[in-house]
Structure 1
Amino acid sequence: MKVILATSTAPFVHGGASLLVEWLEAALKERGHEVDTFHIPVDTHSDRLPAQLVGLRLWDFTGLGDRLIAVRTPSYLIKHHSKVVWFLHHHRPAYDLWATHPDVADDGAGREFRRMMFASDEAGLSEAHALFTNSQRVSDRLQKYNGLDSEVLYPPLGGDEQPTPGDTGDYLVYVSRVATHKRQLLAVEALALTQTPVRLTIGGSDGGSGESRRVRAAIERLGLQDRVDFDDTVVSDSEKNALISGSLGVVYIPEDEDSYGFVGLEAATAMKPLVTTTDSGGVLELVDHGVNGLVVAPRPAEIAQAFDTLWTDRVRAESMGAANRKKMEDLNISWDHVVERLLA
C-alpha cells in the first residue's frame, strides 16, 4: 500500500510525537508498505494559527496514494479520499484548559478563536474514515467537546534500543523532559519525606525554561545532594535504558497527561513497577494500583510512602514489575496491531 503520513511539527523541537511518526514510518516500511512523510511546520501562537489552518485546509492529496494517516494537530485538515487520523491531543488551551490556561483572552475575539478551533477540528476529523486516539482520556475529550467517537490505539515503543530487565537497584528513576507539569519538583519533595535510604535519579533537559534551576534549588534546600542524581541534559537512549534497567522502579507523575507517556511503557518493557499519581491522566490506563505499580495522591507524603514501599519490599517490587510487562501484552500494545488497524 502507498501511505502518506502527515504531522505538524515545530522547528528544532523533537518530542514524543516526532518519535511516534518516525517509528510508525519504520513499522509501515518493515511490513512492505511505501511511505511518504510530510512534516508540516505549524506555529501554534494564537495570532498566527488561524491563517495556517486556512492554508493547511487548501492542501488536497485526493487521488494520491492509497491511505493518508494524519497524526498531530492540525494535520488532519489535509483532504484525502482515504484519510484516517491517529489523534494525539487537541489544541488544549482552547479545550479542556480553557478555564485555567487559555492562550487568548476570554473576550469576543478570544471566544471566536476558540469557536474557530472547534469548527476546524470538526471539519477535518469528521472526514476521517476512521478516528483513533492514543488514550481513552483523549477519546473521552473528543466525545465531550466534538461529539466524535474514536478507537483507542495505544502507541508502542520503537527504535533500535529499548530498556531490558536488569538487576533491582537502590534508586528510583524519573527520566523525562523537565517541566512544571512533569513535576520533578514534587518527586524531590517526596524523597525528603521518605523513611528509607531510597535514592532518586532525575534525567532530562528543561529546554531553557528554567525549571531545572528550581529542581536543583529544592535538592539543595532539602539537603538531598547525596540522595538525588540530577542530570539536567538531554539523556541519550542508551543512558536512559541503562538507568531504567538497573532501577528499583520508575517514577512518572505528570499533571493530567494526554497518554501514558513513553516513560510508562519503558518501565513495562524493563519489568519495573511504575509510581504515578491519581491526577496523572492517561498514564493511569497503564497502571493498576498494587498490581503493576503504585497510584497515590499527588502529595509529597503519599508519594514518599510509595517510594518507601518499593524499597522495603523488593520481592513485591519485582512482582509488580513482571505484572507491568504482562499489562502491556494484555493491552496488545504492538506495531503489528497498530499497522493492522490504521490500514484496515
Structure 2
Amino acid sequence: MRILIATTQVPFVRGGAEGLAEGLQHALRSHGHEAEIVALPFKWYPPKKILDNMLAWRLLDVTEASGVPVDLLIGLKFPAYLIPHPNKVLWILHQHRTAYELWDHPLGDLITWPDGVQVRDAVRQADRQLIPEAKAVFASSANVARRLKKFCDLEATPLYHPPPSAERFYCGPAEDYLFFPSRLTRLKRQSLVIEALTQTEQAVRVKFIGKADEPGYLQELTDLARKHKVSQRIDWLGHVTEDEKLRLYAHALGVIYPPLDEDYGYVTLEGMLASKPCITCEDSGAPLEFVHNEQTGLVTGATPSALAAAMDTLWTKREQACSWGNASRALYDQLNISWSEVVRRLLA
C-alpha cells in the first residue's frame, strides 16, 4: 500500500513524537509498503495560529499523489489528525493539551489569552466532530485514551510501540547515580528532582541529559540547584550520543521520571529495556501503566519530600532495586511491544 503519515513539527524541537513517526515509517517500509511522512510546522501562539493550523490541515488534499491514489492515511498529532481522507486511521499521540487537561493548570498558557476560551472551544468541537471520520482510532497509551473519553466521549484503543533502538539496550553494573534522560521542559519537572535532592538523607547523585525547549530554562535549573546547594550532586550532560545514552542507562542505579500527566514517555520503556527500576509520581500519567509500586519501581507523591524518600530507597536498597529492574524488563517482554504488532493493528 501507499501510506502517508500525517504529523506536526515544531522546528528545531525533537522529542518522542518525531521518533515515533520515523519508527512507524521504517516499520511500514519493512513490511513492504510505501510510506512517507507529511509534516507541517506548528505554532500555538498567539492562539489564532492554532486555528490557522487546523484550517491548513483541513484544506490539504492527499487522496492522491502524482495521479496515484494514497491508500491509507495515518494521523498522529493535533492538528494533523484532522486532515481529510476517505481511508484514515488515527493513532493519537495527544490532543492539544492546553485546551483539555492543562486548561486551568499553571503550566497552561491558552487560558491567559483574551481569545483563549474561543480557541479552546473550537479545538474541542473540531476533535469531537472530526476524529470520528477515521475508520479506527488508537491512542499512544491508556492515559491518552482516557483523556479522549473524558473530554470528548470518544473511544480509542491503546497501542504501545517500542522506543528507538530498543534492541540495543543492555544492563551493566550499577554505579552511584540516578538517571533522568529527557528534554528539559517544565512538564518533565526536572525542578522537582532538584528540590527533592535537598531533602534526601543519602548523598544521591543525578545525571540529566537533554536540551532545553525554551531559551534560559537550563540556566533557570542550574540557578535553582545552586540556590539549594546541590549543584555538586548533579551532572548536566546536555546532548549525548546514542551510545553514551545507552551506557548511562546500563550503569544507572535507577531511572527517575516524574513528568506531569505524560502521554507515553520513552524514558520509562527505555529503563525497562535496560532492566532498571523507575521512580515516577502518582500524577505522571502513562508511566504508571508500566511502573508498579515496589514491583518494577517506585510510585510516589509529587512532592520533594516524597520523591526524596523514593530516591533514598533505591540508593540504600540496591539488591531490591536490581530485582525491581529485572521485573521491569520481564514486564516489557510480556507486553509484546513491537513494530510488527503496531503495523498489524493499524492496517487491520
Q: What secondary structure sits across from 2:77 in the alignment?
A: coil
Q: Find the counterpart in structure 1 of residue 95 from structure 2.
A: 90
Could you tell which deviates more after superposition, 136-145 or 156-165? 156-165
For residues 313 and 203 of structure 1, the distance between their equivalents in structure 2, rounded to whole angstroms, comes to 25
For residues 44 and 205 of structure 1, the distance between their equivalents in structure 2, rounded to whole angstroms, comes to 21
Q: Find the counterpart in structure 2 of residue 242 from structure 1.
A: 247
AA in 2 matched with 1:39: A
CA-based RMSD of the aligned residues comes to 1.9
Q: What secondary structure sits across from 1:263 in the alignment?
A: helix
For residues 241 and 130 of structure 2, the distance between their equivalents in structure 1, rounded to whole angstroms, comes to 36
Q: Find the counterpart in structure 2 of residue 254 from structure 1.
A: 259
For residues 118 and 103 of structure 1, the distance between their equivalents in structure 2, rounded to whole angstroms, comes to 13
AA in 2 matched with 1:199: R
Q: Find the counterpart in structure 2 of residue 224 from structure 1.
A: 230
User: Is structure 2 residue 220 aligned with structure 1 residue 214?
Assistant: yes
Following superposition, the deviation at residue 142 of structure 1 comes to 0.9
Q: What secondary structure sits across from 2:341 in the alignment?
A: helix
Q: What secondary structure sits across from 2:3 in the alignment?
A: strand
| Match of residue 296, structure 1, among 284, 297, 300 | 300
Following superposition, the deviation at residue 320 of structure 1 comes to 0.5
User: Is structure 2 residue 193 aligned with structure 1 residue 187?
Assistant: yes
Q: Structure 2 vs 1, CA of residues 52 and 228 (structure 1 numbering), >3 Å: closer, same or farther?
A: closer
Q: Find the counterpart in structure 2 of residue 42 from structure 1.
A: 42
Q: What secondary structure sits across from 1:57 in the alignment?
A: helix
Could you tell which deviates more after superposition, 46-55 or 307-316? 46-55
Task: Check conservation: 2:73, 2:89, Cα contact below 8 A.
Answer: yes
Q: What secondary structure sits across from 1:305 in the alignment?
A: helix
Give 1:1-344 correspondences, 5 Å limit: 1-45=1-45, 46-62=47-63, 64-100=69-105, 101-104=108-111, 109-159=115-165, 162-231=168-237, 233-259=238-264, 261-344=265-348
AA in 1 matched with 2:95: H
For residues 99 and 199 of structure 1, the distance between their equivalents in structure 2, rounded to whole angstroms, comes to 34
Task: Check conservation: 1:136, 1:282, Cα contact below 8 A.
Answer: yes
Number of aligned pairs? 341
Could you tell which deviates more after superposition, 200-209 or 146-155? 200-209
AA in 1 matched with 2:319: V
AA in 2 matched with 1:125: I
Following superposition, the deviation at residue 83 of structure 1 comes to 0.5
CA deviations 1:184-238 (Å, max 9, x no partner) are 122122223222233211122213432222321233233333322122x223322
Could you tell which deviates more after superposition, 172-181 or 183-192? 183-192
What's the TM-score, normalizing by structure 2? 0.92
Could you tell which deviates more after superposition, 123-132 or 155-164? 155-164
AA in 2 matched with 1:256: D
Q: What secondary structure sits across from 2:8 in the alignment?
A: strand
Q: What secondary structure sits across from 1:284 in the alignment?
A: helix
Q: What secondary structure sits across from 1:88 in the alignment?
A: strand
For residues 116 and 176 of structure 2, the distance between their equivalents in structure 1, rounded to whole angstroms, comes to 50
Task: Check conservation: 2:13, 2:213, Cα contact below 8 A.
Answer: no
Could you tell which deviates more after superposition, 288-297 or 61-70? 61-70
Following superposition, the deviation at residue 140 of structure 1 comes to 1.2
For residues 73 and 156 of structure 1, the distance between their equivalents in structure 2, rounded to whole angstroms, comes to 21
Could you tell which deviates more after superposition, 165-174 or 219-228? 219-228
Following superposition, the deviation at residue 102 of structure 1 comes to 4.4
For residues 306 and 317 of structure 1, the distance between their equivalents in structure 2, rounded to whole angstroms, comes to 11
